[in-house]
């Protein structure tokens, strides 16, 4: 695997991933963090296009399922850039779905690389100006990043890795860019693949034993804003078709519409929150902090505040 080069490390966050997908041109998809794949927890997700599993990578062959050598119909790319695994896991789902609006750029990329072997697909991802620029647009603003990296700490630092699970042509596949190829986990359908993925994820987690590992799971699902807007429009059509005398049916429809509007408002508020957080992630606050401290110093207010903070810290340590 090559150096990270000009690919930055991005945060594992549903708001980041949702906006990243949108900025690459794909429509109708959002990402949700989930805490369980049990049916009672996944029922509210609606249509699930794929799952992204994050775990702390270990340099050992504790879990190595055999790759499917006859999976030419699967878009699979080897990971050639260290910091690209999150974006690559997302692409592993998007580019294997025939029911998504990928947008012109990703659609052309999929067609262009269709006959490439996995290593060339990985290189194509790393050299895509669109994918790289969108990925890097979510870099945290950290002016001290080079000064704070310990060159001797590399082997001791935690390294996290992303893999994807998605159904393809009636089979569930595990797509890990560090593997030789896609792993066929067996036949499935739209109603059973999430349960099958749950079993595979649990098996992978158990393979690490009692080690202190961190896991995270996210689902690529249908855009809930788009879905609720469609449900409201459909309910309005039902209301128009009902007679004024059909009070019971109209009450049911109005109640459903009210619930859809509540979910829509919640999702719109969540999108605004995600966007605000993404803006803050990218913003460099150092100049603001510097000027604030300088103004306090010029007014002889900085030293008293520093002394007060030291006293508070000292009192906390003695308690």
Distances (CA, A) of 66 to 181, 197, 303: 8, 16, 63
Of the candidates 26, 135, 161, 188, the residue annotated as catalytic is 161
Cβ-count burial 280-307 (b if 16+ within 10 Å, e if not): ebeeeeeeeeeeeeeeeeeeeeeeeeee
DSSP string, 174-195: EE-TTSSS-EEEEE--TTTHHH
User: Distance between CA atoms of 114 and 100, rounded to whole angstroms?
Assistant: 17
Angle in degrees, 0-180, between the axes of helices 247-282 and 14-23, rounded to the nearest 10: 90
Active-site annotation holds for 85: yes
112 close to 124: Cβ distance less than 8 angstroms: yes
Task: Name the nearest CA neighbour of 13 among 216, 248, 304.
Answer: 216
243 close to 70: Cβ distance less than 8 angstroms: no
Distances (CA, A) of 7 to 124, 235, 238: 14, 46, 50
5 torsion bin: left (phi>0), alpha (psi -120 to 50), beta (else): left
**CB 35: neighbour CB atoms within 10 A?**
8
Of the candidates 26, 85, 135, 188, the residue annotated as catalytic is 85
Active-site annotation holds for 26: no
Distances (CA, A) of 110 to 75, 102, 103, 121, 235: 8, 9, 11, 9, 37
- Residues with catalytic roles: 85, 161
């Amino acid at each position: 695997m090559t150096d990270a080069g000009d690919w930055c490390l991005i945060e594992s966050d549903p708001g980041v991933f949702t906006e990243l997908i949108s900025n690459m041109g794909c429509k109708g998809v959002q990402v949700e963090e989930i805490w369980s794949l049990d049916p009672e927890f996944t029922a509210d997700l609606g249509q699930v296009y794929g799952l992204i599993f994050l775990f702390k990578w270990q340099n050992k062959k504790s879990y190595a399922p055999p790759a499917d050598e006859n999976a030419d119909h699967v878009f699979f790319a080897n990971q050639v850039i260290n910091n690209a695994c999150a974006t690559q896991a997302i692409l592993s789902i998007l580019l294997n779905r025939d029911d998504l609006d990928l947008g012109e750029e990703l659609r052309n990329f999929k067609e262009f690389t269709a006959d490439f072997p996995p290593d060339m697909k990985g290189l194509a991802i790393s050299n895509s100006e669109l994918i790289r620029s969108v990925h890097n647009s979510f870099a945290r603003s950290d002016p001290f990043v080079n000064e704070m990296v310990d060159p001797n700490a590399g082997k001791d630092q935690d390294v996290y890795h992303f893999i994807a699970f998605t159904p393809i042509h009636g089979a569930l596949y595990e797509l890990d860019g560090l593997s030789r190829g896609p792993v066929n986990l067996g036949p499935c359908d739209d109603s059973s693949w999430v349960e099958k993925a749950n079993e595979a994820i649990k098996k992978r987690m158990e393979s690490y034993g009692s080690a202190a590992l961190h896991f995270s799971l996210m689902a690529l699902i249908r855009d809930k804003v788009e879905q609720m807007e469609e449900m409201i429009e459909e309910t309005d059509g039902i209301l128009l078709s009902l007679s004024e005398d059909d009070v019971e049916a109209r009450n049911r429809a109005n109640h459903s519409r009210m619930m859809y509007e509540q979910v829509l408002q919640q999702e719109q508020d969540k999108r605004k929150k995600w966007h605000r957080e993404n803006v803050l992630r990218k913003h460099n606050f150092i100049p603001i902090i510097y000027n604030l401290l300088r103004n306090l110093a010029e007014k002889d207010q900085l030293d008293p505040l520093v002394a007060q903070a030291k006293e508070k810290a000292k009192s906390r340590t003695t308690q």
